[in-house]
A = this chain, B = another copy of it.
Amino acid sequence: MATVRLLSEEELSPEAQAVFADIRATRQSDFVNNFWRALAHDPATLKRTWEGVKAVMGEGVLEPKVKEMIYIAVSIAHGCSYCVHSHTAAARAKGMTEAEHRELLAIVGMAAETNRLVTALGAPIDEAYDIR
């Protein structure tokens, strides 16, 4: 199922082609996954989103695999199955070990549990946590 068709290479506008070329160059891979093929109907959002992802996920102070693990954590909490699958693949490609994956999942599950307990209890934020 999908709400828009996935675009093939032939159907891309020139602006979308340029973004796809940059995705391929940045990732050093010819594979462009379905998300970008669906988003390509809107070249402006495609370009803005890809440039955001490239800037945020590119070189910085955190390791690339750690960045992908944070992406996975958010995707799980948002219930986005596509995103969980694509970023789990990306994290593995960037060096996430199976032991790290297991630890990631244990943390996400634990956080979900305490997040909901806190909300249920209505515990007020401790003054010690206020940085003002």
Contacts and interface: CB of A to CB of B under 8 A. Distances in A.
B3 A45 contact: no
Interface in A113-129: 113-126, 128-129
Interface of A: 1-6, 31, 33-35, 37-39, 41-42, 44-45, 48-49, 52-53, 55-57, 60-62, 66-67, 69-89, 97-126, 128-132
Contact of A83 (B70, B87, B108, B114): B114
Copies of this protein in the assembly total: 6
Given A70-B70, A125-B82, A56 B107 contact: yes
Contacts of A108: 70, 74, 116-117, 120
Contact of A84 (B42, B84, B100, B120): B120
Contacts of A110: 52-53, 56-57, 71, 113
